[in-house]
Amino acid sequence: MKTLKLLSAFIIGSLLLTSCVAEVIIEDDILIEEPSITLNQLLNTYEIWYVDIERTQGTGEIPFLQKAFTVSFKNGVFYANNNLVGIGSNGNGFGLDVGFYDTNRMQLDIDHDIDGFYDLTVVQISNNEIKLIDRVTNTSYFLEGYQRNTFDYDLVFYDNIHYFLHEYRAWEKVYTSQFGALNEFDNENYLKFLYQGSGDNFKSSKDINNLNINDIYYDYTGYYAIDNIANTGYTKILTLDYDFLGNEYFELTVINDKEIRLFHPSSGTIYEFIGRGFLEFKSTENGKSAQNDKKRMKKADFMKLSK
């Protein structure tokens, strides 16, 4: 993508240039700002703004951006896709109505239904990229603009699949293949995943099937990790750290947004689990990890799984 150069200069001996959002004209030694397009028009140039969470700068956080995969600005209404379950179909791809917004020059005011009012400064980085700055916490988020018909919802889903796993309160085993060697994991009937960086971040249970979610007793807690497989974006490696068994490795594929398949290479067995108790994320307590947790997450989990 072409980068729009943002240049500024003083009145004396300078040529004034800005981004496509505002044009500055010198007239009788008076600076007059004449926007070529407004900030609201810029925000509406793209239907979907992807929140590139890994590029976030600062030690604070903007809660409604921290938990969102995408946001949208439409006729004063602020939308967000906070869940991977249903992404691309919820709200015709826009996600949920989560608040209202208004613009004033390069200031973006967002009144979020849960997180309250935020006054953000917008800086245009390129033709489809903006930075939102919270001056109070000195934190910046980077957003990339797309149209719904060209946005790869599936890629977002698989790139963030560790979040998908904890969008259900429990995963219940519903199928075990007849082929494959007997192994200890045959006895595990429930899995529960918490966000990475939260300490012991998965649980397993040998309880019988069809229990009430609240009645499940988890026999074991440990750590899990998700890793990519070379040359494929749709199959992942799931590692479960069982102290008494060592690390168990599975090839994880998604059947649909409520069912996953685990292939256990060491035994040749296939398991299928369904999600129970869908969690509609409204805060970072249940959704994405907070900034400081996110920065510690990969190193801490790697060390735990390498024991």
What is the pLDDT confidence band of residue 32, given thresholds at 50, 70 and 90?
Answer: very low
**pLDDT digits 0-9 by tens, 288-298:** 555 444 433 43
Average pLDDT, integer, range 106-135: 96
**Looking at the chain, which residues constitute the CATH 2.40.128.280 domain(s)?**
39-151
Contact 84, 160 (CB under 8 A): yes
From its phi and psi, is residue 292 left (phi > 0), alpha (psi between -120 and 50) or beta? alpha
Rounded (5°) CA angle 134-38-77: 65
Per-residue pLDDT at 201: 87
Residues sharing a CB contact under 8 Å with residue 291, sequence separation 6 or more, in sequence order: 56, 58, 59, 60, 61, 66, 139
Question: Token digits for 234?
Answer: 């749709």
What is the pLDDT confidence band of residue 280, given thresholds at 50, 70 and 90?
Answer: confident
Average pLDDT, integer, range 232-244: 87
Residue 11 has pLDDT above 80, yes or no: no
Average pLDDT, integer, range 64-83: 96
Q: Out of 60-69, 125-134, 228-237, pick the least confident.
A: 228-237
Average pLDDT, integer, range 231-240: 89
Tokens 């969470």 correspond to: 53
**DSSP for 208-249?**
PTT--GGGPPP-EEE-EEEEEETTEEEEEEEEEEETTTEEEE
pTM score: 0.77
Per-residue pLDDT at 4: 30
Q: How far apart are CA 211 and CA 222, in angstroms?
A: 22
Closest CA to 102 of 89, 119, 85: 119
Average pLDDT, integer, range 216-241: 91
What is the pLDDT confidence band of residue 302, given thresholds at 50, 70 and 90?
Answer: very low
Residue 160 has pLDDT above 50, yes or no: yes
**Residue 127, class by beta-carbon neighbours within 10 Å (0-12 exposed, 13-18 middle, 19+ buried)?**
middle
Per-residue pLDDT at 189: 98
Average pLDDT, integer, range 255-274: 97
Q: What percent of the chain has pLDDT over 70?
A: 78
Contact 271, 185 (CB under 8 A): yes
Contact 6, 19 (CB under 8 A): yes
Residue 81 has pLDDT above 70, yes or no: yes
Pick the more confident residue, 243 or 98. Answer: 98
Pick the more confident residue, 78 or 26. Answer: 78
Average pLDDT, integer, range 268-274: 98
Pick the more confident residue, 8 or 177. Answer: 177
**pLDDT digits 0-9 by tens, 168-222:** 999 999 999 999 999 999 999 999 998 755 556 899 999 999 999 999 999 999 9
Per-residue pLDDT at 232: 82
Pick the more confident residue, 113 or 19. Answer: 113
Average pLDDT, the chain: 83
Which CATH fold topology does 39-151 show? Lipocalin (2.40.128)
Per-residue pLDDT at 198: 54
**DSSP for 102-143?**
EEETTEEEEEETTTEEEEEEEEEEETTEEEEEETTTTEEEEE
Per DSSP, the three-state class of 43 is helix
Per DSSP, the three-state class of 137 is coil
